[in-house]
Amino acid sequence: MTELPARRLLLVHAHPDDESINNGATMARYAAEGAHVTLVTCTLGERGEVIPPELRHLTGAALGEHRLRELADALAGLGVTDFRLLGGAGRYADSGMMGIPDNDDPGCFWQADVDEAAASLAEVVLEVRPQVVVAYDDNGGYGHPDHIQAHRVALRAVERAADAGWTVPKVYLNRVPRSVAEAAFDRLRQELPGLPFARSAAVSDVPGVVDDELITTEIDGAAYAAAKAAAMRAHATQIEVAPDERHFALSNELAQPLFTTEYYQLVRGETGRPPGRDGEAGGSPETGGNRETDLFAGIEEGV
C-alpha cells in the first residue's frame, strides 16, 4: 500500500452544490495546504429546480449529468481531485423536497437502506482513512430528506469503519452560529437595494443554525473567498452569486449571506484546543478565542 498523505479530510454531501455552499472555503484551504480532500456526494440532484431560463429544459437524468459537470468545475477550482458518487453513478436518485410524492420513489436516496449505503461509504472511509469527517446534523441542516439520509449514512459508515479497523478521530457537523447568521442578515437587509435579489431569506432558511455555545470550530476562509464564490458560481443551475460575492440566492430567489468563515460542531473525538487557556487557540475575539481554528487540531501527524 502506498503511503497515505499526512492529513486526510472526507466530506459527505447530498447533492452537487452543497459542498461549495457549506464547505467551499474549508475544502480550498485544506487542498491548498496539501491535505487529501475527499468528497462523497450521495445523489446527482436531478430533482433540483433550475434557475437560468435557458437551462430549464434540463430535467431528470439530463439535469443530473449537467450537475455532475458543474460539480467537476467547482471542484477543479477548489483544488479537490478525489471525488466519489456514493455507490457509483446513478445508484441513488435525488428524493426532492420533503413531503412530495418523489420521496416514495424506490430508487431515491430517502428510500435507501441505510446500512447498505453506509457499507458503500465505509469502503471509502477504509480506503482513505480520514482523520476528519464532515457531515450534516440529524435534521440534515434544514430538513431535506437527502440531507437527513446523508447524516444517517455518514454516521453509520463511521461506526462500520471503526468495527472494520479505522476509527475516525474527529467527526464534525456543518453549523452556523446563530449570532453570526443574525448579524449577517441584519447587514444583508441594509444592502438589499444594491443586490440583484428582490427579497431576503431568513435566518431559518440557513441550514445548521444553532446556539453559539455549540460551535467548537471555525475555519477562517477569507483567503479562499474568491475560490468559494467561483465554486458556487460553477453550480449555475442552482445558485446565483451576487456580483459582490458576499451574497447569493437559490432557486427561491431569496438573498442569503455567503459565509467565508465556516463553522463546525465536533461530535466525535476531542477538540485540539488547550483546555481552560483562553486566547491561546485563536478563534474570533467574540468567542474568547475558545474555538479550534483547525479541523486537524490535536491530530498527531502520521496517524
- Please enumerate, by residue number, every residue annotated as part of a binding site: 15, 18, 147
Cβ-based neighbours of 287, under 8 Å, separated by 6 or more: 212, 215, 218
Residue indicated by cell numbers 436516496: 109
Pick out the residues of the known binding site for Zn(2+): 15, 18, 147
At its nearest, how many Å lie between Zn ion and the CB of residue 192? 25
Phi and psi angles of residue 186, each rounded to the nearest 5 degrees, phi first: -60, -45
Q: Which helix (H) or strand (E) holds 135?
A: strand 132-135
14 binds Zn ion (CB under 5 A): yes
Point out which span in 12-20, 34-42, 65-73, 158-166 binds Zn ion (CB under 5 A).
12-20
Helix axes 225-234, 60-78, angle to 10 degrees: 160
152 binds Zn ion (CB under 5 A): no
Applying the rule CB under 5 A, the residues between 18 and 77 that interact with Zn ion are 18
Radius of gyration of the chain (CA): 19
Distance in angstroms (rounded) separating the CA atoms of residues 303 and 301: 6
Site size for Zn ion (CB under 5 A) = 3
Point out which span in 13-21, 62-70, 75-83, 95-103 binds Zn ion (CB under 5 A).
13-21
15 binds Zn ion (CB under 5 A): yes
Point out which span in 8-16, 91-99, 163-171, 240-248 binds Zn ion (CB under 5 A).
8-16
Distance in angstroms (rounded) separating the CA atoms of residues 16 and 42: 9
Applying the rule CB under 5 A, the residues between 181 and 200 that interact with Zn ion are none
DSSP string computed for 271-298: --SPTT-TTSS---GGGTT-SBS-TTTT
At its nearest, how many Å lie between Zn ion and the CB of residue 190? 29
Point out which span in 9-17, 35-43, 154-162, 235-243 binds Zn ion (CB under 5 A).
9-17
Nearer to Zn ion, 15 or 36 (CB): 15
Nearer to Zn ion, 114 or 198 (CB): 114
At its nearest, how many Å lie between Zn ion and the CB of residue 238? 9
Q: How many CB atoms lie within 10 A of CB 165?
A: 8
Nearer to Zn ion, 14 or 206 (CB): 14
Distance in angstroms (rounded) separating the CA atoms of residues 260 and 246: 8
The residue with its CB nearest to Zn ion is: 15
Interface with Zn ion by CB under 5 A: which residues?
14-15, 18
